[in-house]
Amino acid sequence: MKIGIVGLGLIGGSLGLALRSHGHTVLGVSRQPHTCQRAIARGAVDDASTTLSLLNAVDVIFLCTPLAAMQATVVELVPHLAAETILTDVGSVKGWVVETIAPLWANFVGGHPMAGTAESGIEAAQQDLFVNAAYVLTPTETTPTQAIQVIEALVRPLQTRLYHCHPDDHDRAVAWISHLPVMTSASLIAACLGETDPAVLELAHALASSGFRDTSRVGGGNPELGVMMARYNQAALVGSLHAYRDTLNQLITQIEQADWRSLEALLKQTQQSRSEFL
């Protein structure tokens, strides 16, 4: 199959490597000529260009730009496409994307491959990035069945775990397990920085080990990504944050009132329930 990829970063580049390894022809578009050169050199694409007209004869296009660039990209892309071209995206928020892109192109399927690394960009692309990763498709009532089947047939051989759900259910689920953790983790780091005694802060720096490292990891990640989660998944994230604050208040009250029995019951529940997520 002839496949287009717009945006040759970590995800776009990794998709190119993986799809080419399964025999597909991949054409890539990036705004940066250097990225096009590197994508070709790394074998992530058969050819690449800075102009979207390169994609006028592909069967399927994966939109791999940042969320903020997606709408403008599709508006610019549409005049180049044949009606049967299938469009899909890899954005980490689905409600906003589906609402924005589906009216611009009927043959569109929202998608979210849940894979990543600490690095970004074409140099970080890996052929096996999607092996064992969840890949969520979010078709709606109006999504053409054939488009869904074509995308499934492309991504299943990459050894992804395929899920289907409504865009809003996707956004609420990732608010819980991906976006909320970023905000609670960032709050942990920011709160520690508020320690006013320099001796205590220095000691905290010296004594922090694996517990702090793990709990603070995602809160110390890419700030632009954090803002993007909040911006495009605002409603679901605010809902999760309110529920989290209620739980935190309950736990603070238990500790203030020395209600050790209730605290132990809560911690037993979290110990038992964590395994259901992992």
Residues 246-265 that bind a copy of itself (CB under 8 A): 246-249, 251-252, 254-256, 258, 260, 263-264
Interface of this chain with a copy of itself, residues 69 to 88, rule: CB under 8 A: none
Q: How far is the CB of 171 from a copy of itself (least distance, A)?
A: 9
120 binds a copy of itself (CB under 8 A): no
Size of site (CB under 8 A) for a copy of itself: 93
Nearer to a copy of itself, 53 or 249 (CB): 249
Minimum gap (Å) between residue 9 Cβ and a copy of itself:
19
Give yes or no for residue 134 binding a copy of itself (CB under 8 A): yes
8 A C-beta contact, residue 195 and residue 231: no
Does the protein bind a copy of itself through residue 159 (CB under 8 A)? no
By CB under 8 A, tell whether 68 contacts a copy of itself: no
Binding flag, residue 145, a copy of itself (CB under 8 A): no
Q: How far is the C-alpha of 194 from the C-alpha of 192, rounded, in Å?
A: 5
Give just the sign of the alpha carbon dihedral 243, 248, 254, 260. positive
Q: Nearest to residue 171, comparing CAs of 101, 240, 227, 245? A: 240
Rg (C-alpha) for the chain, rounded Å, is 22
What is the rounded distance in angstroms from the CA atom of residue 251 to the CA atom of residue 3? 51
193 binds a copy of itself (CB under 8 A): yes
Distances (CA, A) of 28 to 7, 14, 15, 25, 37: 7, 12, 11, 10, 10
Residue 131 is a binding residue for a copy of itself (CB under 8 A): no
Binding a copy of itself (rule: CB under 8 A), the pick from 133, 144, 148, 157 is 133
Is 123 among the residues that bind a copy of itself (CB under 8 A)?
Answer: no
The reply to whether 124 sits near a copy of itself by the rule CB under 8 A is no
CB 28 within 8 Å of CB 48:
yes
Quick one: tokens of 61?
Answer: 């296009």
- Binding piece for a copy of itself, criterion CB under 8 A, among 10-18, 43-51, 72-80, 195-203: 195-203
Tokens 């989290």 sit on residue: 244
Measured at the alpha carbon of residue 196, what is the angle toward residues 191 and 197, in degrees to the nearest 5?
Answer: 125
Should residue 119 be labelled a site residue for a copy of itself when binding is judged by CB under 8 A?
no
Q: Does 157 bind a copy of itself (CB under 8 A)?
A: no
Q: State which H helix or E strand residue 27 sits in.
A: strand 25-29
Stretch that binds a copy of itself, among 17-25, 69-77, 146-154, 158-166 (CB under 8 A): 158-166
Closer CB to a copy of itself, 145 or 196, in the complex: 196
Contacts of 39 by beta carbon, 8 Å cutoff, 6+ apart = 8, 13, 16, 28, 30, 45, 48, 122
107 vs 240, beta carbon nearer a copy of itself: 240
Whole-angstrom distance, CA of residue 68 vs CA of residue 229: 11
- Which residues, 89 to 118, sit near a copy of itself by CB under 8 A? 114
